[in-house]
Structure 1
Amino acid sequence: MKTVTIEELLTWAFVHELPKGGGVDGLDNANSAWRMLEASSWGKITSFAELGAIVDQGRGDTENYWIEQGEPHDDAVAVGRAVAGLSRCDIAVPAGWNALADWPDTEGMAEAAVRKAVERYMVRT
């Protein structure tokens, strides 16, 4: 057994393991790294349009083109399911809570995203 921080665990699960196998849905997920290799050109354009940018493109011609194929580690799938299960939890947001107190100034963009997320959760409760 290896001891890691929660941040290291989440990074390992969501950055290194779950993408290669399509997350908790496995290789059947159309967004798995393996399936994305087979994506159409139009799918790439749609992906670009969602964010308005190309994400995770390496600085060199050969960077970021190699992915590990296969199913994600069982522990990563368990982490993914646990995180997905958080959506069923009730939360209490204290008045005046500043989720981004230690962040640099984002000119209101990050604060707006947090405010929107908090409003979405408050509607659920």
Structure 2
Amino acid sequence: MKKVTIDQFLTWAFTQELCKVGAGNDYGPSIAGSWNMMSAVAELGTLIDRSPNGYGVIPDYMAGGDPHADAVAAGNAVKALAARGGFEIGEGWKPFPEWRDEFGLIQAEVENTVEALRLKPDALSGRHVVNLVVTYAILGRGPDWSVEQPEAQMVSVNGKPLWFVMKSAKDGFGRAYNYEADGFDRKKQRPMRGAYRKYELSAPLRGAILSRLDWQLWQSALEILHADLSGRLSSNSILPFSPDRSPWAAHRAASTMPQAIESA
């Protein structure tokens, strides 16, 4: 029995064995050409000139014989992930624990993104997880979760920081409400009493949030596949697996962000 990790096993199955499915007897592109097409599909999400087989792999017409039974078991286990339904994001999820977020700018963007995902949960579906597993099995690595922390910068227009002030008013029914208004006195050319400045992130975080979500979904999928396949293979023995859902936590570094509101 060959001892392999779950991710090594999946890479072998999807790049060397499952490409035999659907190849038929016709000769086509070389193995290298087939690999290049699979990589293009994985990285670009674009089909070049041939449809993938039932396992999401471009058939290799130079590969002879049938796929190994262990690889077929892997392919079927991956396909079965779609039938498990969607995954969920826990309350208070913090995908950037290594960053300091004294005033909640980062967590606010995380919560907005999570709310949008719950309304349209395509990125949490079983089908998406299947695509993740196949993609990164072919690429031989996991999702890239690395990202630079955005800076907090003053809310500005044309390079000039803005001032804000809270005011109160009444609606048509006489009910009082508060609203935020321009806090700079144009006549006196100075901030109004009680005016403040605000900060925002220098770059959007949605892409980074989704990348870290994909990493955690991928790790959860590997955990499921490890449990499903361990002890059920004829030629491969899968080594113990413990999901690492937050590798970025090991890179925790103290960083100081400017104050989110600066009073006049």
**TM superposition score category, shorter chain reference:** 0.3 to 0.5
- Considering only CA atoms, is the larger Rg found in Structure 1 or Structure 2? 2
What TM-score comes out, normalization by structure 1 length?
A: 0.47
What TM-score comes out, normalization by structure 2 length?
A: 0.25
Q: Answer 1 or 2: which has greater strand percent.
A: 2
